[in-house]
Structure 1
Amino acid sequence: MKTFIEETVEKLLERKNFDLTKTTFILPSKRAGSYLKNVLKSNVKKSIFSPEVLSTEEFIEKISSLKPIDNTQSLFKFYNTYKKLTPKKDQEEFDIFYGWAQTLVYDFNEIDRYLIDVNHFFSYLSRIQDINHWALSNPQTDLIKNYLAFWNNIPNYYRDFKEQLIEDQEAYQGLMYRVASEKIEEYIQKNNHQFILIGFNALNNAEQQIFQYILEKGKGEIFWDTDAYFYNDKQHEASLFLRNYADNWSYYKQQNGFKNLPTYYTEDKNVQIYGIPKNIGQAKQTAQILSTIPVEQLSKTAIILNDEGLLNPLLNSLPQTIEKVNITMGLPLKDTPLAALFEIIFELQQLPTEQYYYKPIIEILNHPFVLNKLGEVSKELQLQIHQENLVYLTKEQILSLSTQETKKLLSPILIKHEQPVALLKALVVFTQSLRYQNSTEKPLETEYLYHFHKLFIKILNLVETNSPITTIKSLHRIYKDSLATESLDFSGSPFDGLQLMGMLETRVLDFENIIISSVNEGVLPAGKSSNSFIPFDLKKEYGLPTYKEKDAIYTYHFYRLLQRAKNIHILYNTEPSGLNSGEKSRFITQLEIESPKNNRPNTQFLNPFVPPRKRELKKIQKSPEVIEKLKKLAQHGFSPSALTSYIRNPLDFYKNYVLNIKDTEEVEETVAANTLGTVVHDTLEKFYKPFENKEITKNDLLIMKKNIVSQVQLEFKNTYKQAPINKGKNLIIYEIAKRYISNFLNKELAELEQHTISIKEVENKLKCKIDISELDFDVFIGGKVDRVDYIDEKLRIIDYKTGKVEKSDLKINDWNLLTTDYKYAKAFQVLCYAKMIFTSNNFTDAEAGIISFKNLNAGFLPFINEKSNNINNEVLEKFEKELIKLILEIFNPEIPFEEKEV
């Protein structure tokens, strides 16, 4: 297969009087120019001076002699014009101006590219606005007057803006085209080169005027890349622009249009269409297709990504056989890990308070670039934040917890900067601080840092020079817009290996094998999106491009790719999630209906194979080392909660008590249930501990009631550390804690009316030995009982629960269920406490049960067996029998720790 560039170069070199050294080649892109140079190198057999090869942008810049400026620079300069021509009382802040000015500058760009008469055009536009909205209003309000004044003033804005830029020898793209169209005659007269124009399609009016002048003066030649199949079809959008040039350019009127067009499109082709769900599915299918292409064919293969979001999944899916990939589309800077870090910093800078929420701080400390600089120091600082439960932190708090190295790194970004210049300088310092000591070891990360450093310097220069930005919010917006246009270029050979590019980068290039992804409606073509103040009918009137022309551009690029290709693979997303998703492009429908018979596509619908995943419950065998660990636990004493953990799920018992794996310490934003329980337990311990072995009086309880607020606050401070309890859910939970204790003390006061209450023990540690003849080592159970008291000489063993407990939770009829069903865990726990109390004290009977603060009206809920709530030696013997069975099971090496289904 000969490419279009190869055919064009061969035609030119066959001419006898063709002088390469006095030729300027002009192509749509720099990439196409690189291909042209490579083809020339292969075809020219003698030493010559290289011809000049320019992209359209470079050619236009050369003619106009103006320096190009980007969109952000244009807006800053336009704001100067706006302030100059707008009365001070009517001037808007840059933040508001920025919102509408982007659209207006875009319209200026289009008007200049298409050489529209500005005065006539904007006069027409202002009259449309008047008729559409305000003509019938009488009298006109100030709002209407200001609105119409704005539209009437736009020609003045344009003229002053244009004059300002030309005076500074600068121009946005459209203005550069307009100036170039005015200077083309002078440029051609001074230049004795021949101009070869290659591979153009959709030309704006300025380009058409320039190219026609070159052709009519005999100073050059143009080569169009199209196929007779499209050109002869008057309805096909792929040839919309070329047919227009053939009909309207005087140069072609003399020659009766285009002649000798090739017929590559009707040759035999293998066209495959794949409907696949999601981007990852397309990436995997692309990899599958690539694995079928011979290695020697890869340099003639291109992957065209219409959605840049496919770049990363595709790069991670490429087959091992692919050694070289040339990526031309670039990695967007906004998709790099560093972009997320700076986004957090901008958000922190815009907070209305001096306090920082802990999560963004943790994100900064956990970011790979910061971790690389701080290492373990970052981990220690995070641990301190978790331990102190710092939900909100001030800059001073963060720095007080930090080392000198951390302070140096974080200070620039933690200080609240009121002025944009100050923040930009801080970001430049911060970026420099993140640099790797050895950049050769981390070339990609160093490249990220370099690009962000360059971006901040660029914005800083703009802000210092023009200074319209007065708020951090405005700066953030400028930063995001600038970031969206920046990318990291990959390095690679454009002539060797697999080529990976976007659709517009394929201009003038040809490949034998092509894979086009995301061919969905709304992606290819892009659809009717419009960012313009100019209505559709006015665009049609003045010949400005509408969505129809933009669709035709993509149609041309799509079908031009297919012309010379032999193997074509087209993929689209079938997943109906999100706007325009799941609908195949009209181009696919067109291929299915209108393609030549020998080119009809074969369509496949693919779904990823998802094998059934049967979740197997985990089993952990008991090794000798595990048995030794269990013996140590038995010597220390199994707690009731440890044993009930085994009943609930043996695997949890293994993780928590054998391996000693604890939950990672996290900042507790909202008071957790266990924290509330701890606060209530500790408050009651402080209240009742002084009354051990004493009788409680009404006066004692009243004194406790007076101290509820201070004691609860103290316990929250001890348990919940520095987290706030004075707002939101935490305030509600704080009030609940006070209410629980107040209600409990009221209940106690009511009981004192009819009974006497004497405290025996409060939160005392207990431990007792369990005699198990089958084991040759000692086994103990141990724990802290919340309260042991006497009510009218009757012993009560009490466990507090802040959660809800029902009477049925403590009732047992079948002793076998006690150690096999977690439903009876609370009954198991109180019996453990009863066993320990009875062992350490020679009691004959007692009651053991729970006081549930969520079910306080039920009062003391006793353990019940066979309709009796009395606990005696007979009951404890039955319990001990079940307890021994449970402990023997735990120590049985033949019974693994087996996960239970939830």
Structure 2
Amino acid sequence: KVNFALGYPLKYSVIFSFLQIIKNLMEHRQEEYIYLPSFLDFIKHPFIKNNKLKGRLLEEDIFQLDLRLKEQGKAYLTLEEIKKVKIHNPDLKEALDFILSLFQNYLNYQPAEKTTVKNLVKTFQELFKALHLTQQATSLELEEPTGLKSLLVWQEQVLSQLKLSPLQEQSLSWKKGLHLILNLTQKIFLPLKGEPLAGIQVLGLLESRLLAFNKVLVLGAEEGNLPQSSSPNPLLSGEIRLLLNLPQQEKQEQIQGYHLTRLLKASKEVYFLLTTSEKKDFLGGKNIPSRFVEKIIWELEKQKKEPAFKQLSTPLSSSALNTKTFLPKTKEHKEKIKTLLLQGISPSHLNTYLKCELLFYFNYILQLKEERKLGTFDSALLGSVVHKTLEVFFRPFKGKKICIEDKYIENLREILDENFRQMGLLEKLDKDKKLFLRHITYHKLKKYIQTISNTYSGYEVEELEKRVEYKLTNNIYLKGKIDKIIKNANQLIVLDYKTGQQLTSTAKIREVITKYTDLTSLKEKKFDFQIPFYIFLLTETQDKDINGGWVYLAPYEPKITLLFTEKNLKEEQELLNQNLPLLLKLVCTDMLEKDYFEPSLSQEPCSFCAYRKICPSPVI
């Protein structure tokens, strides 16, 4: 038996989460436009989805509504646009109409719109009445304080108090009104049933007054927890609090120290449990014993007594720490990989496989589409816009020297906007993000054009978006598309545009291609097949020296990183042509013959992986 005397904080209850969603829904509004992610949070909340409409749970319809609204692809929609979403199912249409009527009748306010405390209380009372929540909560036993019963406690201690408050006619904005209600709600604790005379008692220092125990365990006896400390208020310094006769932090700590001392003297056995660490946290602090604990130890030592210390450990087996799960590779999987190799495998396939075989499985075997968050842009689509813009811009310079005057750069904005329009990248973003993305993309491309014009002014544009193919074996075909090839009298340079950050150093790539290695080393060194792949394929048709590099557009100043140094170009290119076919066969054979898909060697790819929720080997 366990009795909790502390109570349950209402800020962890379902009513608080509902209020938080309403606050977000209102604060994210832009005039008549509603922020769709907040609206979806609203309709998926238990207070909404657990309602019944003609005897049918709304939860059955909410999932479909969520999909229909996400299909619009926009982060902001007006009420009229939400109403006009194409829904053929009458039950689904009725559910949407019910939810929209709730929003229109009780929550359709601008954050700065004025109201009164009295009207605020009345609105929430009517909202919960429309949801039939008050009636449901009244019929429940007080067994689940974090559920609907928390609504009754909240209505009694927040709404009823505000209704009787002398401030009920006070004018304030809806934004401030919601902040007021949330702040009041955070301070409420729900009572929990228990037997105070039997079993284990869980209580705070204040609740331990005038009580005696056989055995006491003080949990979290680290500095910062004992005594409890609060962040200093820059507007209410210690001197100002003293002048205003407000409680001082030192006084609060003295009271906590008194209650702890009294508890120690009234108990037969006392144990302090704490964690210590020499490692600093992100604020530069360490886990150290509470000053109260240090004082107790000092008092015992003065009395020539030795306090007992015991280090507790929780041993874990190696299997408990190993969260990696290998996905079996079926006959059907191998057939799909075989087909992929025959149709032509690209550097993207190879790099994905090295990065994480499970990612390769989700992306290319199952061909699952990545779910894009509303209000964000598709990074792959942005890459397509960049590639197409640079192709169109450099097309007039094909066969000509790269010496681009400012008058030509003036055409860049028009070309970029046309590609944004054709690919529909901006239409689903809000106004601020559209402006930001257009400006940043234009700035990066302009900087790149100026950089390549200054650095390679003696070169000609040889090819743009050139498709290349090669038969490696009877069962393995290679294919790809080179973004750009420039040349001078002696040399070709292959360029590949990157809108992301540089992940692998060219030194590591050179080390791999000049010395044959195994698959694990390829993964550990984060080998990038892109440029070596293209150099190898072009070598079959060109008699010039070939170098290649990555054009990184993400840095403030775009940079071009070449694979080979001028000094060792011929030697390193020969080694590439010898070793790269072996590396390609190594990876392709592993794809086809290994009996399982292996997760990534590191946790880094998992951080932003689109398939984390369904991955059999998620990073915790």
What TM bracket, shorter-length normalisation?
0.5 to 0.7
1:373-423 residue CA offsets vs partner (Å, 9 max, x unmatched)? 664766667667877775667777777769434424444335224213444
Aligned counterpart, 2:551 = 852
In the alignment, is residue 490 of structure 1 matched against residue 192 of structure 2?
yes
Conserved 8 A contact 2:73-2:428: yes
**Structure 2 residue 13 is the aligned partner of structure 1 residue 336:** yes
Residues 303-344 of structure 1: per-residue CA shift (max 9 Å, x gap): xxxxxxxxxxxxxxxxxxxxx434343223233243244245
Query: Which residue of the partner structure matches residue 584 of structure 2?
Result: 883
For 1:203-242, list aligned pairs within 5 A: none
Measure the CA separation in 1 of the matches of 2:240 and 2:496: 76
Asked if structure 1 preserves the Cα contact closer than 8 Å seen for 2:158 and 2:184, the reply is no
Contact kept in structure 2, 1:344 and 1:360, CA below 8 Å:
yes
CA distance in 1, matches of 2:59, 2:180: 33
Q: 2:107 aligns with which of 405, 408, 413?
A: 413
Compute the displacement of 1:471 (Å).
Answer: 3.8
Distance 1:656 1:473, change over 3 A: closer
Unaligned runs of 5+ in 1: 1-323, 540-545, 773-777
> Where do residues 114-263 of structure 1 align in structure 2 (5 Å cutoff)?
none
TM-score for the superposition, normalised by structure 1: 0.47
User: 1:561 Cα deviation (Å)?
Assistant: 9.0
Contact between 1:817 and 1:824, CA under 8 Å: does it hold in 2? no
- Identify if the C-alpha distance between structure 1 residues 537 and 587 changes in structure 2 by more than 3 Å, giving closer, same or farther: farther
SS in structure 1 at match of 2:483: strand
For 1:635-672, what per-residue CA distance to the aligned partner results, in whole angstroms no more than 9, with x for missing partners? Answer: 44322211233345555544543455665533575x78
The alignment partner of 2:270 has SS state of strand
- 1:510, CA displacement in angstroms? 6.1
Report the counterpart of residue 289 of structure 1 in structure 2: none
The residue aligned with 2:292 is 584
Code of the residue aligned with 1:425 in structure 2: it is K
User: Residue 722 of structure 1 aligns with which residue?
Assistant: 428
**Pairing 1:175-574 to 2, within 5 Å after superposition:** 324-346=1-23, 349=26, 354=31, 364=42, 367=45, 369=47, 372=50, 375=59, 403-411=96-104, 412-413=106-107, 415-416=109-110, 417-420=113-116, 421-432=118-129, 443-444=144-145, 445-455=147-157, 457-459=159-161, 461-462=163-164, 466-472=168-174, 475-476=177-178, 478-480=180-182, 482-494=184-196, 497-505=199-207, 515=217, 555=258, 559=262, 567-571=268-272, 573=274
Q: How big is the shift at 1:631?
A: 1.9
1:781 partner amino acid: L
The Cα of 1:350 is off from its aligned counterpart by 5.7
Aligned residue number for residue 826 of structure 1: 530
Residue 708, structure 1, aligned to residue 405, structure 2: no
Tell me how far apart the structure 2 counterparts of residues 549 and 823 of structure 1 sit (CA, whole Å).
58
SS at match of 1:743: helix
How has the CA–CA distance of structure 1 residues 708 and 423 changed in structure 2, closer, same or farther, with 3 Å as cutoff? Answer: farther
Structure 1 CA distance for aligned equivalents of residues 243 and 558 of structure 2? 75
Q: Given residue 350 of structure 2, which amino acid in structure 1 is its aligned partner?
A: L
Q: What is the letter of the counterpart of residue 470 of structure 1?
A: L
Q: Which runs of structure 2 are paired with 1:84-123 in the superposition (5 Å)?
A: none
- Structure 1 residues 383, 750: closer, same or farther in 2, change over 3 A? farther
- Quick check: 2:162–2:168 contact (8 Å CA) kept in 1? no
Change (3 A) 1:450 1:711: farther
1:782 matched to 2:482: no
**Percent identity for Structure 1 against Structure 2:** 19
Amino acid at match of 1:712: L
Aligned partners of 2:224 and 2:542: how far apart in 1?
A: 83
| 1:680 and 2:386 aligned | yes
Number of the residue aligned with 1:60: none
The 5 A counterparts of 1:730-769 are 730=437, 733-740=440-447, 742-743=449-450, 762=465, 769=471
2:340 aligned residue (618, 633, 638) = 633
Count of equivalent residues: 550
The alpha-carbon distance between structure 1 residues 629 and 590, as it changes in their structure 2 partners (threshold 3 A), is: same
- Residue 609 of structure 1 corresponds to 314
- 1:215 is matched with none
- Aligned AA for 1:890? M
AA of the residue aligned to 1:680 = V
Give the deviation of 1:482 after TM superposition: 3.4
CA offsets per residue over residues 536-559 of structure 1, 9 Å max, x none?
A: 9999xxxxxx99899689858974
Paired letter, 1:710: E
Which of 369, 373, 388 lines up with 1:666 in the alignment?
373
CA distance in 2, matches of 1:467, 1:856: 59
TM-superposed deviation, 1:368 = 5.0
Q: Kindly provide the CA deviation profile for residues 605-653 of structure 1, in whole angstroms up to 9, marking residues without a partner as x.
A: 4444365867687655644343223223224432221123334555554
Task: Give how far 1:713 is off.
Answer: 2.8
Q: Matches of 2:63 and 2:542 in 1, distance apart? A: 55
Say if 2:358 and 2:597, in contact at 8 Å, map to a contact too: no
User: 2:609 is matched with which residue?
Assistant: none
Q: How does 1:641-656 map to 2 (within 5 A)?
A: 641-648=348-355, 650=357, 652-654=359-361, 656=363
| Alignment deviations for residues 18-41 of structure 1 (CA, whole Å, 9 cap, x no partner) | xxxxxxxxxxxxxxxxxxxxxxxx
Structure with the higher helix share, 1 or 2: 1
Shift of 1:447: 0.9
Matches of 1:455 and 1:735, distance apart in 2: 55
Summarize the Cα distance change of 1:357–1:627 in structure 2 as closer, same or farther, 3 Å threshold. Answer: same
Distance of aligned partners of 1:731 and 1:612 in 2 relative to their CA distance in 1, 3 Å threshold: farther
Find the counterpart in structure 2 of residue 294 from structure 1: none
- SS of residue paired to 1:329: coil
Pair 657,493 (structure 1): closer, same or farther in 2 beyond 3 Å: same
